[in-house]
Amino acid sequence: MTSPTADLIATLQAATPAEADALMRSACAALRMRPVTPAPPDASALRAGLARIAETGLDGVLQRLLHDAPQGSATDALAALLRPAELAWDEPQEIDWAVRHWEACRAEGQLDEELAADFGEYWRQLEWSALRQHLAQLGAGHAQERRLLAYIAKTASRYVAFGPLKRAMEARFPELFDLGFSLR
Protein backbone atom coordinates (compact mmCIF):
# COMPACT_ATOMS: atom_id res chain seq x y z
CA MET A 1 0.00 0.00 0.00
CA THR A 2 1.24 3.45 -0.83
CA SER A 3 -0.21 6.06 1.49
CA PRO A 4 -0.66 9.61 0.34
CA THR A 5 2.14 11.84 1.55
CA ALA A 6 1.65 14.22 4.47
CA ASP A 7 2.19 17.11 2.05
CA LEU A 8 -0.58 15.89 -0.25
CA ILE A 9 -2.94 15.43 2.70
CA ALA A 10 -2.21 18.94 4.00
CA THR A 11 -2.70 20.43 0.53
CA LEU A 12 -5.99 18.57 0.07
CA GLN A 13 -7.24 19.71 3.47
CA ALA A 14 -6.69 23.34 2.49
CA ALA A 15 -7.91 23.00 -1.11
CA THR A 16 -11.13 24.22 -2.64
CA PRO A 17 -13.29 21.48 -4.19
CA ALA A 18 -11.98 22.31 -7.68
CA GLU A 19 -8.36 22.27 -6.46
CA ALA A 20 -8.92 18.98 -4.62
CA ASP A 21 -10.42 17.46 -7.77
CA ALA A 22 -7.41 18.48 -9.85
CA LEU A 23 -4.99 17.22 -7.19
CA MET A 24 -6.75 13.86 -6.91
CA ARG A 25 -6.90 13.39 -10.66
CA SER A 26 -3.19 14.13 -10.82
CA ALA A 27 -2.46 11.73 -7.96
CA CYS A 28 -4.50 9.01 -9.70
CA ALA A 29 -2.56 9.58 -12.92
CA ALA A 30 0.68 9.24 -10.97
CA LEU A 31 -0.54 5.91 -9.55
CA ARG A 32 -1.12 4.62 -13.06
CA MET A 33 2.31 5.75 -14.21
CA ARG A 34 4.11 3.89 -11.44
CA PRO A 35 1.96 0.94 -10.43
CA VAL A 36 2.90 -0.43 -7.04
CA THR A 37 3.19 -4.13 -6.32
CA PRO A 38 0.96 -4.36 -3.27
CA ALA A 39 2.00 -6.43 -0.29
CA PRO A 40 -0.30 -9.14 1.04
CA PRO A 41 -2.39 -8.20 4.07
CA ASP A 42 -0.62 -8.32 7.44
CA ALA A 43 -2.55 -10.74 9.66
CA SER A 44 -1.11 -9.38 12.91
CA ALA A 45 -1.99 -5.78 11.98
CA LEU A 46 -5.55 -6.80 11.07
CA ARG A 47 -5.86 -8.86 14.26
CA ALA A 48 -4.75 -5.83 16.32
CA GLY A 49 -7.34 -3.61 14.63
CA LEU A 50 -10.12 -6.12 15.14
CA ALA A 51 -9.13 -6.50 18.81
CA ARG A 52 -9.78 -2.76 19.25
CA ILE A 53 -13.38 -3.46 18.28
CA ALA A 54 -14.05 -6.80 20.00
CA GLU A 55 -11.94 -9.31 21.87
CA THR A 56 -13.68 -12.34 20.37
CA GLY A 57 -15.97 -13.37 17.58
CA LEU A 58 -14.19 -11.76 14.63
CA ASP A 59 -11.95 -14.64 13.50
CA GLY A 60 -14.20 -15.21 10.49
CA VAL A 61 -13.83 -11.57 9.47
CA LEU A 62 -10.05 -11.85 9.78
CA GLN A 63 -10.03 -14.96 7.60
CA ARG A 64 -12.28 -13.26 5.06
CA LEU A 65 -9.96 -10.26 4.85
CA LEU A 66 -6.90 -12.47 4.51
CA HIS A 67 -8.29 -14.99 2.01
CA ASP A 68 -11.44 -13.75 0.27
CA ALA A 69 -10.31 -10.17 -0.05
CA PRO A 70 -7.80 -9.77 -2.85
CA GLN A 71 -4.25 -10.45 -1.75
CA GLY A 72 -2.17 -7.42 -2.56
CA SER A 73 -5.02 -5.97 -4.56
CA ALA A 74 -4.72 -3.64 -7.51
CA THR A 75 -7.04 -1.34 -5.55
CA ASP A 76 -4.78 -0.90 -2.49
CA ALA A 77 -3.03 2.29 -3.62
CA LEU A 78 -6.25 3.95 -4.77
CA ALA A 79 -7.99 2.97 -1.52
CA ALA A 80 -5.20 4.66 0.43
CA LEU A 81 -5.56 7.78 -1.72
CA LEU A 82 -9.36 7.99 -1.59
CA ARG A 83 -9.80 7.07 2.07
CA PRO A 84 -6.88 8.30 4.14
CA ALA A 85 -7.50 8.47 7.88
CA GLU A 86 -7.05 12.24 7.83
CA LEU A 87 -9.72 13.07 5.22
CA ALA A 88 -13.22 12.11 4.19
CA TRP A 89 -14.87 12.81 0.87
CA ASP A 90 -18.52 12.58 -0.07
CA GLU A 91 -19.09 9.15 -1.58
CA PRO A 92 -20.24 10.43 -5.00
CA GLN A 93 -16.87 12.20 -5.27
CA GLU A 94 -14.97 9.03 -4.27
CA ILE A 95 -16.91 7.05 -6.86
CA ASP A 96 -16.23 9.66 -9.54
CA TRP A 97 -12.48 9.49 -8.95
CA ALA A 98 -12.57 5.69 -8.74
CA VAL A 99 -14.54 5.33 -11.99
CA ARG A 100 -12.18 7.64 -13.83
CA HIS A 101 -9.17 5.73 -12.46
CA TRP A 102 -10.76 2.35 -13.30
CA GLU A 103 -11.55 3.48 -16.86
CA ALA A 104 -7.99 4.71 -17.39
CA CYS A 105 -6.48 1.53 -15.90
CA ARG A 106 -8.73 -0.56 -18.10
CA ALA A 107 -7.73 1.40 -21.20
CA GLU A 108 -4.05 0.95 -20.29
CA GLY A 109 -4.45 -2.80 -19.69
CA GLN A 110 -3.48 -2.53 -16.01
CA LEU A 111 -6.36 -4.63 -14.66
CA ASP A 112 -7.03 -8.33 -14.77
CA GLU A 113 -10.03 -9.52 -16.74
CA GLU A 114 -12.40 -9.71 -13.75
CA LEU A 115 -11.69 -6.16 -12.55
CA ALA A 116 -11.67 -4.71 -16.06
CA ALA A 117 -15.10 -6.19 -16.78
CA ASP A 118 -17.03 -4.84 -13.80
CA PHE A 119 -16.73 -1.54 -11.95
CA GLY A 120 -18.93 -2.96 -9.17
CA GLU A 121 -16.32 -5.64 -8.46
CA TYR A 122 -13.55 -3.04 -8.64
CA TRP A 123 -15.42 -0.85 -6.12
CA ARG A 124 -15.99 -3.81 -3.78
CA GLN A 125 -12.29 -4.67 -3.86
CA LEU A 126 -11.41 -1.02 -3.27
CA GLU A 127 -13.67 -0.91 -0.21
CA TRP A 128 -12.24 -4.15 1.13
CA SER A 129 -8.71 -2.81 0.56
CA ALA A 130 -9.61 0.34 2.48
CA LEU A 131 -11.14 -1.75 5.28
CA ARG A 132 -7.91 -3.73 5.66
CA GLN A 133 -5.91 -0.49 5.74
CA HIS A 134 -8.21 1.13 8.29
CA LEU A 135 -8.14 -1.89 10.59
CA ALA A 136 -4.33 -1.98 10.43
CA GLN A 137 -4.15 1.75 11.21
CA LEU A 138 -6.62 1.34 14.06
CA GLY A 139 -4.53 -1.49 15.50
CA ALA A 140 -1.41 0.69 15.27
CA GLY A 141 -3.10 3.42 17.33
CA HIS A 142 -3.51 6.02 14.56
CA ALA A 143 -4.49 9.44 15.87
CA GLN A 144 -7.63 9.58 13.69
CA GLU A 145 -9.34 6.72 15.53
CA ARG A 146 -12.90 8.08 15.24
CA ARG A 147 -12.69 8.57 11.49
CA LEU A 148 -11.14 5.11 11.07
CA LEU A 149 -13.98 3.61 13.12
CA ALA A 150 -16.51 5.49 10.98
CA TYR A 151 -14.92 4.20 7.78
CA ILE A 152 -14.90 0.65 9.19
CA ALA A 153 -18.56 0.93 10.25
CA LYS A 154 -19.54 2.21 6.81
CA THR A 155 -17.87 -0.67 4.99
CA ALA A 156 -18.93 -3.34 7.50
CA SER A 157 -22.54 -2.18 7.06
CA ARG A 158 -22.45 -2.76 3.30
CA TYR A 159 -21.27 -6.32 3.00
CA VAL A 160 -22.92 -9.42 4.43
CA ALA A 161 -19.46 -10.95 4.81
CA PHE A 162 -18.74 -8.39 7.52
CA GLY A 163 -21.96 -8.86 9.50
CA PRO A 164 -20.09 -9.99 12.65
CA LEU A 165 -17.88 -6.89 12.45
CA LYS A 166 -20.91 -4.64 12.04
CA ARG A 167 -22.67 -6.24 15.03
CA ALA A 168 -19.55 -5.91 17.19
CA MET A 169 -19.24 -2.25 16.21
CA GLU A 170 -22.93 -1.56 16.86
CA ALA A 171 -22.50 -2.99 20.36
CA ARG A 172 -19.33 -1.04 21.15
CA PHE A 173 -19.84 2.15 19.11
CA PRO A 174 -23.61 2.62 18.64
CA GLU A 175 -23.18 6.33 17.89
CA LEU A 176 -21.53 5.40 14.57
CA PHE A 177 -24.82 3.91 13.41
CA ASP A 178 -27.09 6.83 14.36
CA LEU A 179 -28.99 8.33 11.45
CA GLY A 180 -27.28 11.38 10.10
CA PHE A 181 -23.78 10.39 11.20
CA SER A 182 -21.15 11.77 8.85
CA LEU A 183 -17.49 10.98 8.29
CA ARG A 184 -16.76 14.69 8.16
Q: What is the pTM of this model?
A: 0.91
Q: 49-88 pLDDT, tens per residue?
A: 999 999 999 999 999 998 886 556 789 999 999 999 999 9
Which amino acid appears at position 111 of this protein?
L
Rounded CA-CA distance 155/4 in Å is 21
Q: What ranges do the domains of the chain cover? A: 6-177
Per-residue pLDDT of the chain (184 residues; tens, 9 = 90+): 457 888 999 999 999 999 999 999 999 999 999 877 777 788 999 999 999 999 999 999 999 998 886 556 789 999 999 999 999 999 999 999 999 999 999 999 999 898 999 999 999 999 999 999 999 999 999 999 999 999 999 999 999 999 999 999 999 999 988 765 556 5
